[in-house]
Chains A and B, each alone.
Chain A
């Protein structure tokens, strides 16, 4: 089959690789119909994240048609499904608490040692990411193998277009959980750092959960305009002092809840190769947590801090004093995608959530390499690239 493979910094290639096979009883094979490039794929593209190997297939946002099933899969050939980026077994302690992204059984045992050393617990399995998260081949390909296919994938009703539902795989539930973690109460003002896909879905979600005002912070004019379209007020941090603006806009109290949807940006997930660092006993590099620091300082006393943005290492000058003295509550984590799918699918179907506004480019899978370049270099207007195997260019 054809697949987008990683070979090094800014070196991804379309290659012909072996088709995936059923390896375990609960597996299914999906023929990809749509797959997206994610902001976190850019971290891989920029080679900020260790333990990727040459030839790894990228992509964790995908959907398609079931073409093969193992004996314990509950899917049927021909069904259309969206697949969560988190690989979850459904029966471990964390899955039983619906904390699917903390699943203990999705990551092959031999890939768990490093995560245990770095974080005190092994990382869970994810598609198309690093070998820290299992080294599972991703979905920027013609076919993908989906483990625990009886737990993860959600079946899409006939007649719902791919473009409406594709983002159930990651960024829509991630934006939704970000708002949920902000524990929004009626009348709340919610400030959101970052108007990328997750931030924009968090804007919509926060209003759905009863926020009175949402203030969106970014420096890309097009992205701020999208946030405005969903009713957010905006701050362009290149033109305005963000902290002063937030204080002025909230009567010097500060926002009731803050959401850091920026995370590590493209800067230093791990400054260097993690393995080398462990050998040198100097441990992880430092994330640049500008948004997080600012969010904690701006949040009102007794307010809530939600962190969907991805961090991988350590943070310098973390404002522990502001956190404690102001009595903040902090919630974070990778998204428990499976938990949110039925509800979000229904809301898309009812027209309560707009998903397709985000798609700026649709390309054939064969042009995935160009898609990465575009997404990397035109961040203002290139909001989301969707790849479709077999798509003819208009």
Chain B
């Protein structure tokens, strides 16, 4: 094997050690995805920087409340009820990147979002990386799988909804708010 890595992000590596290299706290699972959004990077960064905006497009997040500078309290729907933790901002580069990590609570997790200019006419490349230990270990993960709430599935959908909200001002839906979702 060559010492020189290719240019693909580490989380798509076939080598599980490389795959986990961006886990800020040694979490067991790392997931990442890049999506292009036709808005300027400063605007996308600013929206994300105010964590109170995130529940609008994140399906499993009940609330994110600021505690003090750099710290916020997250409440998330999980397979076995709500989970809570406090997150600390670990990196903040305006217009470029933002990273956070849990410092207490039920679920050890961290995340990072990066904003880069795509090629001309291709908008901003937004890359999200999440690292986590599955809630309640193996059983929690099995339940999550059964209910289709595998974290990476909902994270992918969250990123798509973020794109929809930023590009169109709304989130595509067919479900009236007072009715159960169709699928």
Contacts of A26 in B (CB 8 A): 168-170
In the complex the two chains form, is B169's CB within 8 Å of A134's CB?
Answer: no
In the complex the two chains form, is B36's CB within 8 Å of A135's CB?
Answer: no
Q: Which segment of B70-78, B108-116, B159-167 sits at the interface? A: B159-167
Q: Which segment of A104-112, A222-230, A377-385 sits at the interface? A: A104-112
Contacts of B5 in A (CB 8 A): none
Q: For window 137-183 of chain B, which residues contact chain A by CB distance below 8 Å? A: 153, 156-158, 160-161, 163-164, 167-177, 181-183
Cα–Cα distance between A132 and B142 once the two chains are bound (Å): 25
Contacts of A185 in B (CB 8 A): none
CB of A349 closer than 8 Å to a CB of B: no
CB of A11 closer than 8 Å to a CB of B: no
A248 to chain B, nearest CB (A): 48
CB of B26 closer than 8 Å to a CB of A: no
Cα–Cα distance between A136 and B175 once the two chains are bound (Å): 9
In the complex the two chains form, is A107's CB within 8 Å of B172's CB?
Answer: yes
Cα–Cα distance between A308 and B177 once the two chains are bound (Å): 37
In the complex the two chains form, is B38's CB within 8 Å of A72's CB?
Answer: no
Cα–Cα distance between A383 and B122 once the two chains are bound (Å): 43
Cα–Cα distance between A101 and B161 once the two chains are bound (Å): 19
In the complex the two chains form, is B163's CB within 8 Å of A104's CB?
Answer: yes
B144 to chain A, nearest CB (A): 15
In the complex the two chains form, is B168's CB within 8 Å of A93's CB?
Answer: no
In the complex the two chains form, is B174's CB within 8 Å of A134's CB?
Answer: yes
Contacts of B158 in A (CB 8 A): 109
Contacts of B156 in A (CB 8 A): 109, 113
Contacts of A96 in B (CB 8 A): 38, 121
Contact pattern, A 124-148, Cβ under 8 Å of B = 1, otherwise 0: 0100000100111100000000011
B135 to chain A, nearest CB (A): 21
A370 to chain B, nearest CB (A): 28
In the complex the two chains form, is A135's CB within 8 Å of B172's CB?
Answer: no
CB of A53 closer than 8 Å to a CB of B: yes
Cα–Cα distance between A366 and B183 once the two chains are bound (Å): 28
* Known A26-B170, A136-B174, A147-B172; contact A112-B157, beta-carbon cutoff 8 A: yes
Contacts of A122 in B (CB 8 A): 160
Contacts of A113 in B (CB 8 A): 153, 156-157
**Considering only CB atoms, which chain A residue lies closest to B162 in the complex?**
A109
Q: Which segment of A17-25, A165-173, A333-341 sits at the interface? A: A17-25
CB of A89 closer than 8 Å to a CB of B: yes
Contacts of A125 in B (CB 8 A): 172
CB of B55 closer than 8 Å to a CB of A: no
Q: For window 107-130 of chain B, which residues contact chain A by CB distance below 8 Å? A: 121-123
In the complex the two chains form, is A105's CB within 8 Å of B174's CB?
Answer: no
Cα–Cα distance between A148 and B157 once the two chains are bound (Å): 20
User: Which A-B residue pairs are the 8 nearest by beta carbons?
Assistant: A109-B160, A109-B157, A24-B170, A89-B168, A108-B172, A105-B164, A109-B161, A105-B168
A residues at B contact (CB < 8 Å): 21, 23-26, 53, 72, 89-93, 96, 104-113, 122, 125, 131, 134-137, 147-148
30 A-B pairs in the complex with CB atoms less than 8 angstroms apart: A23-B173, A23-B174, A24-B170, A25-B170, A26-B169, A53-B182, A72-B169, A89-B164, A91-B167, A91-B168, A93-B122, A93-B123, A105-B163, A105-B164, A105-B167, A108-B171, A108-B173, A109-B160, A109-B161, A109-B171, A110-B181, A110-B183, A112-B160, A113-B153, A113-B156, A122-B160, A134-B172, A134-B174, A135-B174, A136-B174
